[in-house]
Every structure is written in C-alpha cells, then in structure tokens.
Structure 1
Amino acid sequence: MARLTGYLSHRGGLHPQEAAGLRKAASLLFDQQSRAETCRSINAQGYRTTHGNEWAPEVLARVLSHPRMAGLDDEGEPIEGFGDTVLTPDEYRRLLALFASQAEQQPAPREAFDYLLTEGLSECGLCDWNMVGTRVTSGGNPAYRCPPPRPGQASCGRVRINADRLEGPVAEEVLAELLRPGAQERLMSLLEDLRGEAERLRSHVEGAEQRFAKLREMRDVLVPSAYEAAEKATRQDVREARNRLRYLEQLIDVPVAGVSDLVAWWKSAPRTWQRALIGVEIVKVRVLASGRGRHRDPSARLQIEWR
C-alpha cells in the first residue's frame, strides 16, 4: 500500500514536515483561501507531496479527504492504536463539509460541443494551419481558432471565429450546392472517387511491411545516413497514408445513396453524417482574419475549396 502523505506508513506515525504542510493547508482553506491559492502558498514554503511533487488543487483535496488524516477507517471509526494524526476528527469533518459546499457551488459542466469543421476541414487564412475547436472560457460560446505557435508548430494563433459564424454559412453553402440539378449524381460520383482513393491507400498501407523488408535488404549497400533518411521517409509516408485512410473511411460510408431530398436528410442527420457529407462536398474552408470589424457578414471571411 502506498504511503499516505503526512505519515511514515499506512499504519500511522507522523511525518513531521509533511504533516505540518497539510495542517497549514487546512488552516488556509478554513480561512476561505481557494485550493489553488492554498497550493501556491504551501508550495512556496517548500512543502511537497510524498513523491516530491508540488501540490495541485485536486491532489490536495484528495489527500485531505482521506479518513486516515484523522486516524479513521473507511467507515469513519477511529483506528485503534493509530497514534498522532494530521487532523483532528472535527477538522476532518469540517474540511469534508467545505469541499462538499464548494462542489455544490460549482456550475454544472457544459456539454461538450460537437464541432463540424475540425480534422482539417477548416484552416487559418493567414498561416494555413488547421483550425481547432475551443472556448475562451468555460462559459464561453464554442469557437474555432488557429492554435498559438509553439516549438515545432508554425501556427500563428491570430485567427478566431465563433462556431455559429463558421458552421452556419458553410452548411448553407453545402445545402445550396445539394439543391442544384444533378446534385445526387455528382455526390455519388464524388463518393465513388473517394472510395477508390481509400482502396488505393488501403493497399498502400498493407504493403508497407514489404517495402520495409526491401529497404532492410539494401541496408548494407547504403551509407547509414541515406538508409536512415529512407527509413524515416517511408515511415512518414505510411503514417500519412494511414491518417488519410482513417479520414476517408469516415466519409465514404455516409448513407445518402437513394436519398431524393438531401436537404431534408441533412436536417435530421446526426453530426457525424453531416460532417461526412461536408467532407465529401468540400476539401476545406479557409477562415480569413476578422479585418477589425469590416466583415459583418461572416461569409465574407470564408473561402470554400470545393471538390
């Protein structure tokens, strides 16, 4: 059994420094300090967890909620011969009540938003990086943004658009395209092309081991740097092929064969099928920068690349 912070073993025996840190944490919590503020305070004073890590709010709450903090068993009864404890039973019960009260005050978590144009279907108009779904705050509206740059990622982080201002206009454009004469035939032709591409990629992926075997046979006749470069390129090729195949497999099974009214179908279709149909109709949509208020019509910020 892992040692509980504050004690020398699971059988008891105080660890003086750890116990002191937990007692200070309890006092700060009783003084209406938040868990985050409490962690910052005891971390700054050099107190650490059993594993030597800095305290995090959820870890602190979990440790202080353990009944052995007050020498109690899982039923809340005193453990005979446990010895000195980090908290008194009264302090322990007060902390549990405090944590319960804080939990009741937390707003209910918002339901996860099912983004329609991620996975490469939308990209930043400034740097061509794929847009990702995000919320500015936990209570904010869902939005798309170009992710901030970081080492190895050349995104700019400068373009953002609310989800309804991106998804609504794109859906309208796709539905308008589906109302054109011959839309059903064109859609079936696109699906057939994508199925053909998927089949070629599937064969390519399945033949990867054979290509690697041939490459290994050439290892002795290639200089090490050339062999490493060839192996790296082959692995990258297979990885990209698998990713593309996974994406295509999400599109090619969209159940629209024989559908006479694609607009009515769209209105009752789950998001997965809507996303697939958009992926069949368009390659991607580029999202331009806002232009400091010039683009009141969100469609003016969008450039759709059709298949």
Structure 2
Amino acid sequence: MPRLYGFDDMAYQRVRESEAAPLRQAASRRLQQQTYEAITTWMNAEGYRTTRGGPWRPSVLANLLDHPAIAGLFEDANGNLVDSGGPRIIQPEEFKTIRAIRPLNSPTHRRADQREYLMPGGLTDCGLCGGMFGSSPANSGSRGYRCLPNRPQHPGGCGKVRINADLFETYVAEHVVAELAKPEVSVLIAQARDEVLAEASELRARVKADKARQKKLGESYARSPELSLSAFRAADKRLAEQIRENAAQARFLEQVRHVPVGDVPDLVRWWRHAPLASKQGVLTLMLERVSVYPAAARGSRTVDGDRVALTWRKWNPSSDKGTAPSAQGDGDRLEGA
C-alpha cells in the first residue's frame, strides 16, 4: 500500500515538506473552486508527481483532498471527524470546506450503479485515430464504449467513435470462444499463458530497474551542482513515463493468470457463468488488439468485421504442439432492434 502523499510514514505523524507545499497550494486552488482537472494539469506542469511516481489525475487528487489525515483528523465509527493529534498540512476548516464542495460527499448525491465492462483497458483502440477506447454510457443510460476524447490526462483520442457495449462484447466473445474451441488452439493455452506471464515478469523487472534509476537520479541531483533542475526534471519525467507505461502493460498482461487450464467441456456455458476476471484473462491471452471503426450509418445496430477488427495474439509454440490462433474473417452480423 503506498504512503499518503504529504507524509513520510503510514501513521501520518511525519510531514514531508517537499510534498506538503504543493498539497497546500492544491487545497487553496480547490477552495477557490478550481476543478480537479485544472489543478492536476497545473501540478503536472510544475513537475509534481504522486507517491508512485506517476502524473496526477483528478480522481487521485480528489481522494487525497478527501483524506482527513491531511488536516490532522480521523473519522470515528460514526463517521464524525475527530482531532487525531497528528500534524496538519491544511487546517480542519479548510478540509471541511473542500469536502463539502465535493459532489461525492453531498448527502443528496447517489453514486451511480457500478456496471461491469468486459473489454480490458488497453486492449481496444479507435480505428480512426488509434486512440484508447474506454467505457462510456450513452445519454440513454445504456452501456457503451467510446474513443476517449483528447484531454491532458488522455491525449490523442478523437472522441468520434462509439459502440453499444452489449453488441460489441457479444461479437468479440462469440469469436473468441469459437477460436478457443479449436483443438489446435486449446492444447496451447497453458503454454501461451506462461509465455504472456513471462512477458509481464520482464516488464515488472524493467519497472523495478527504472525505479532504482529514478532514485539514483534524485540522489545525484541532491549531491551534484552540475545537474540543472530542468535536466533533472526532464530525466525524471522520462523515467516516470516508462515506469507508468510498463507497469500498466504488466497489469494488463497479468490478467491471463485467471484463464482456466485444462478441458472445459462446454465453453459457451463456462463463458456465460465465468467471473469477469477470467473472461478478461481469456481476451488478453487470445487478442493482441481490437479496433473499432465508425458505424456505416448513424444508429446502426450491426456489428461485423467492417466495424470491429480482431488482431489475434501470435504465440510461439513448439513445432509439435500445434499452431497459433489464425486470423478470423468478417464474422457474423449481430442484428438488434
């Protein structure tokens, strides 16, 4: 569990001043009702990083500013704020004001129902721009996916392509289960899973090495007057980006550990009742990429090979163990009302 930003210890007794200063500035900006997105854009531009070394995101900052410890408080069993006796980075009155203006803490606010989405993050991209796809309910409330629009936290997306989640997930699942049912593919599952997990382990090793380099860089900057602040920030930023990207890819690949190994008599039945993590593990194992293109006509309920392109993961089986998954054709059309 990472430490809380602004503190050196998990007991919240020792303040880290190098982090307390930007935290106070962030709180001050929030008290002026600046948005979390605007505040994190400023923090990232100034070179401030989270305790994990990554860039700030609105949700991360919102949770930090909602943590009572930053004001020397804690919540008792009844949810009341009580003085903890610990140090205060911001004043209790400031904390209570920030908490009061956060919509999530409003007594009348009801959290939206959590809905499951099958497609793992990082697997699907936009066929138009190559940007990342993410879950995004339609205005009607139905589940959906879309190309994430261009923002400081998610640069590059066009935001123009959407697809109904039920139709999209059904199309992908049908093709994956059909491929998985092939005898020459099923015998390779265990080997393929081990290969993907080995790749994830390599990425974890890179993350560990880069974190060590990042720490050494900080120590070098503290000792050496020859390293300028701008050079230090540039190098630190590059390392932080590498760490974030490799860690995200490792988490993505590690989903395959949930893939069942051995005979599954009825794959369709298994898929229907399998845990979400197991389904996502299968998708990660079988697919390299899923690209979604615009619908042929506005409001179209047809999903086929022209709309969704499946790129199958290429395995490296031994010559006596069969072949890797083959490319699919256009597939069937899914008609909806």
**TM-score for the superposition, normalised by structure 2:** 0.54
* C-alpha RMSD of the superposition: 3.5
Counterpart of 1:149 in structure 2 is: 150
Please give the alpha-carbon distance, in whole angstroms, between the structure 1 residues aligned to 2:104 and 2:173.
41
**2:232 equivalent among 224, 227, 232:** 227
Q: Deviations over 1:126-149 (max 9, x none)?
A: 122222222223x53211112333
| Per-residue deviation, 1:239 | 1.7
Provide closer, same or farther for how the CA distance between residues 162 and 225 of structure 1 changes in structure 2, counting only shifts above 3 A.
same
Q: Deviations over 1:93-134 (max 9, x none)?
A: xxxxxxxxxx9xxxx998532111141222211122222222
Counterpart of 1:168 in structure 2 is: 170
Residue pair 1:215, 1:231 contacting (<8 A) in 2 also: yes
Counterpart of 1:256 in structure 2 is: 260
Q: Greater share of helix residues, 1 or 2?
A: 1
Counterpart of 2:212 in structure 1 is: 210
Please give the alpha-carbon distance, in whole angstroms, between the structure 2 residues aligned to 1:118 and 1:145.
13
**1:302 equivalent among 308, 316, 330:** 308
Counterpart of 2:136 in structure 1 is: 134
Counterpart of 2:179 in structure 1 is: 177
**1:120 equivalent among 122, 143, 149:** 122
* Residue segments in structure 2 that go unaligned for 5+ positions in a row: 1-95, 314-337
Provide closer, same or farther for how the CA distance between residues 289 and 231 of structure 1 changes in structure 2, counting only shifts above 3 A.
same
Residue pair 1:295, 1:301 contacting (<8 A) in 2 also: no
Equivalent AA in structure 1 for residue 128 of structure 2: L
* Residue segments in structure 1 that go unaligned for 5+ positions in a row: 1-49, 63-102
Aligned residues: 212
| Per-residue deviation, 1:158 | 0.9
Q: Deviations over 1:219-259 (max 9, x none)?
A: 435454433322221121112222222222222x2141113
Provide closer, same or farther for how the CA distance between residues 243 and 61 of structure 1 changes in structure 2, counting only shifts above 3 A.
closer
Please give the alpha-carbon distance, in whole angstroms, between the structure 1 residues aligned to 2:146 and 2:219.
46
Provide closer, same or farther for how the CA distance between residues 237 and 58 of structure 1 changes in structure 2, counting only shifts above 3 A.
closer
| Per-residue deviation, 1:167 | 0.5
| Per-residue deviation, 1:301 | 0.2
| Per-residue deviation, 1:293 | 5.2
| Per-residue deviation, 1:207 | 2.9
Larger CA deviation: 258-267 vs 161-170: 258-267
Q: Deviations over 1:160-206 (max 9, x none)?
A: 11112211111111011112222122322321111111221222233
Aligned 1:272-291 pairs, distance under 5 A? 272-291=277-296
Please give the alpha-carbon distance, in whole angstroms, between the structure 1 residues aligned to 2:244 and 2:250.
10
Provide closer, same or farther for how the CA distance between residues 148 and 242 of structure 1 changes in structure 2, counting only shifts above 3 A.
closer
| Per-residue deviation, 1:151 | 4.6
Please give the alpha-carbon distance, in whole angstroms, between the structure 2 residues aligned to 1:171 and 1:53.
42
Q: Deviations over 1:37-96 (max 9, x none)?
A: xxxxxxxxxxxxx9699999999987xxxxxxxxxxxxxxxxxxxxxxxxxxxxxxxxxx
Please give the alpha-carbon distance, in whole angstroms, between the structure 2 residues aligned to 1:215 and 1:57.
40
Residue pair 2:99, 2:105 contacting (<8 A) in 1 also: no
Residue pair 1:287, 1:303 contacting (<8 A) in 2 also: yes
Aligned 1:91-106 pairs, distance under 5 A? none
Runs of 4+ in 1 over 4 A off after TM superposition: 50-62, 108-111, 216-219, 221-224, 293-296
Aligned 1:10-21 pairs, distance under 5 A? none
Counterpart of 1:36 in structure 2 is: none
Larger CA deviation: 142-151 vs 158-167: 142-151
Residue pair 1:148, 1:157 contacting (<8 A) in 2 also: yes
Counterpart of 1:19 in structure 2 is: none
Provide closer, same or farther for how the CA distance between residues 281 and 226 of structure 1 changes in structure 2, counting only shifts above 3 A.
same
